[in-house]
Amino acid sequence: MKIAIFTNTASPHVGGVARSVEAFSAEYRRRGHEVLVVAPEFPDMPDNEKGMFRIPAIQNFNASDFSVALPVPTGLTDALEEFDPDIVHSQHPFLLGNTAVRIARSFRLPLVFTHHTLYEQYTHYVPGDSELLQRFVVELATHYANLSDLVFAPSESIRDLLLERGVTAPVQVVPTGVDVEQFASGDGAAFRRERGIPESAFVIGHLGRLAPEKNLEFMTAAILEFMRERDDTRCVLVGKGPSLAGIERAFADAGLDARLVTCGTLQRQSLADTLAAMNLFAFASKSETQGMVLTEAMAAGLPVVALDAPGAREVVRDRHNGRLVHEEDTTAFAAALAWIHELDGEAMRARVEAARETAEAYSMSRCAERALAHFDALLERTLGHFDAEERSWESIMARIKAEWEIIRSLTQAGEDALSERNQPIPPGKG
């Protein structure tokens, strides 16, 4: 099978979507399938990339670490004609997501869309953020999903939310899998020696983009409340982003900055070593669609303390492989951290084993197999390629249809958002 993936973020950008694209692409290729990833340019891209088509882009949009793709060069169509894909898989409902619609219609191919993100949680990156804008991006993603032949939801919570929001296209749950072997192979002792962390210290860790949508101010306050009473504790942060300075300032104000270790962005073995140095993983985000970093942490044998929210609730079983905190209260979250800290050796080993078993259920192999099975079923229901004589005329008509669908989708999303302007945002929309 030949799969064309369209994404607004890709390596070397670090984030959930970029990691998902990289992980699925690698597993598809390992199984003998061909993948072409269409993505924007990013700083420090590797040379001589294979299986990638890069789009010129504006870097660091609105002081973020995102790239915004510029109008698509004509070379993309030539590259896709040479690749001759069987299926188009879009990772976003805008920018290169619109390009994916155009290509799918032009080439008469089925379009799959993965709804990775609760987009309304990210509107603060756009000038003029407002409740109306949040409504618009919700409606935009919903209308885009309905342009697709199949929608992948990364978790059951998101599947249910999409159906509630009016998605009528078929929706299947396909999480991003975890490379269990990679994350189980870390050398935590080496990381502790390198960073001067005592062998006996109890280390709370966090991995992810350090940004406001991750609810890090709350998480930091809860961790500090827990650590103030326990001299044996340390906190290790993996990632970068605009919230890092605030976290460092909060630790300094509490007089605990010497017990905070920041690592920046880490990859592969370095990341596995860092996770292996932790005793517990803390997570307070309410903007996730799946628990990808949670399954990575669990693959390293870490119990997780998380807020009860989409993504986390599918992965964390309270008092089994961690703690699921049902109220956004710093004292309750700190108490959950303390509950793990106070487990005896046998009880802690049981949680470690439960975490590893959970990660196995989300292995990359299983998730890719599920996605490919849905691709196969979709291809069986579609017409496939036309011959060369049919394609020229059909391609012109299909492109006109695609442009009309995109314009109509944008217009309808705006009208729906405006019509709901004076109504409260339904659960999960804000």
CATH code: domain of residue 227: 3.40.50.2000
Is 262 part of a structural domain of the chain? yes
Is 429 part of a structural domain of the chain? no
Residues 342 and 392 both lie in one domain: no
Please name which of 327, 224, 247, 236 lies closest in space to residue 276, comparing C-alpha atoms. Answer: 236
Which pLDDT band holds residue 28 (cuts at 50, 70, 90)? very high
Query: Each residue of 352-380: b (16+ CB within 10 Å) or e?
Result: bebbbebbeebbbeebbebbbebbeebbe
Residues 247 and 286 both lie in one domain: yes
Residues 226 and 293 both lie in one domain: yes
Residues 206 and 341 both lie in one domain: yes
- Other beta carbons within 10 angstroms of residue 335's beta carbon come to 16
Residues 344 and 197 both lie in one domain: yes
Is 426 part of a structural domain of the chain? no
Is 427 part of a structural domain of the chain? no
Is 150 part of a structural domain of the chain? yes
pLDDT digits (tens, 9 = 90+) for 137-153: 788 889 899 999 999 99
Residues 280 and 213 both lie in one domain: yes
Residues 32 and 133 both lie in one domain: yes
**Spatial distance between the Cα atoms of 304 and 358, rounded to a whole number of angstroms:** 11
**Spatial distance between the Cα atoms of 423 and 425, rounded to a whole number of angstroms:** 6
Better-predicted residue by pLDDT, 1 or 15: 1
Which of 324, 339, 361 is a domain's end point? 361
Residues 16 and 37 both lie in one domain: yes
pLDDT digits (tens, 9 = 90+) for 380-423: 987 544 444 444 445 545 555 666 666 766 676 666 666 754 45
- Other beta carbons within 10 angstroms of residue 40's beta carbon come to 23
pLDDT digits (tens, 9 = 90+) for 252-290: 999 999 999 999 988 889 999 999 999 999 999 987 777
**Spatial distance between the Cα atoms of 12 and 62, rounded to a whole number of angstroms:** 19
Split into its structural domains, the chain has a count of 2
Which of 312, 329, 361 is a domain's end point? 361
CA-atom Rg of the chain in angstroms: 22
Which residues face 233 on adjacent strands? Answer: 202
Is 286 part of a structural domain of the chain? yes
Residues 222 and 203 both lie in one domain: yes
Is 430 part of a structural domain of the chain? no
Residues 57 and 159 both lie in one domain: yes
Is 22 part of a structural domain of the chain? yes
Give Dmax (Cα) for the chain. Answer: 75
Residues 10 and 105 both lie in one domain: yes
- What range defines the domain where residue 299 resides? 180-361
Beta carbons within 8 Å of 30's beta carbon, 6+ residues apart: none
**Spatial distance between the Cα atoms of 278 and 352, rounded to a whole number of angstroms:** 12
Which pLDDT band holds residue 323 (cuts at 50, 70, 90)? very high
pTM over 0.85: no
Residues 68 and 153 both lie in one domain: yes
